[in-house]
Amino acid sequence: MVNPRIVAAISGALASYLADEEAGQAAAAGLWAAAPAGPPVNLWALSGRQAAMQLRQLAQRRSLR
């Protein structure tokens, strides 16, 4: 038949495994929640910087001809 010691060992191992998984998920959720939100991305500024970099690259290419 079923040995009660084996059943107790299996149920204890499962309980320990589930507790470790829950603790890991709680720790991972805490890492993401701890990061403060930064300022919103200014797309106009990024576009202007990209245009300036492209103009500089174009000028460098023309000067090397």
User: Which segment of 14-18, 28-32, 37-41, 42-46 scores lowest on mean pLDDT?
Assistant: 28-32
Q: Dihedral sign for Cα 43, 45, 41, 39, please.
A: negative
Instruction: Tell me how far apart the alpha carbons of residues 56 and 52 are, in angstroms, rounded to a whole number.
Output: 6
Q: Dihedral sign for Cα 53, 54, 57, 62, please.
A: negative
Q: Identify the domain containing residue 53 by its residue range.
A: 4-63
4-20 tens-digit pLDDT: 999 999 999 999 999 99
Q: Which amino acid is at 56?
A: R
Predicted TM-score (pTM) of the model is: 0.43
Domains contained in the chain, number? 1
Q: Please, how many CA atoms are within 13 Å of residue 57, restricted to the half-sphere of its CB?
A: 6
Instruction: Tell me how far apart the alpha carbons of residues 13 and 7 are, in angstroms, rounded to a whole number.
Output: 10
